[in-house]
Amino acid sequence: MVNWVAVGAAAVGLVVCVPMHVQKFLWAREERAYMLKKRTEESERKKEAERKERERESRQAARGVGGGSGVAEEAGEAAEARGA
């Protein structure tokens, strides 16, 4: 004879536990993807900041050698920094 209580308990266990396990797996996968995206964006921001710093230093070096319109260029840089 079949023990229907045991069959019912097993069915409930499968219905409840398997979706929870799958959901946990999906959450972990989403979290890994989010962290990878976050690290990539952080790296891109850092590279962009370094590039801007190099450009600023090269402009300052060119300005120091060439003289001229340093005040106007500094005002443009300040406006650019406020906008960013």
| Number of structural domains the chain divides into | 1
HSE, side-chain direction, 13 A CA sphere, residue 48 = 8
For position 52, what pLDDT does the model report? Answer: 96
Domain of residue 75 covers 4-83
- Looking at residue 75, its pLDDT comes to 67
The per-residue pLDDT for 25 is 86
Question: Quick one: average pLDDT of 6-15?
Answer: 89
Average pLDDT of the residues of the chain? 84
Angle ∠(73,78,82) on CA atoms, nearest 5: 145
Which is higher by pLDDT, 84 or 65? 65
For 57-74, the pLDDT digits (tens) are 999 888 876 555 555 566
Residue among 45, 72, 44, 46 nearest 59 (CA): 72
State pTM to two decimals: 0.46
Break the chain down into helix, strand, coil percent, rounded to 5.
90, 0, 10
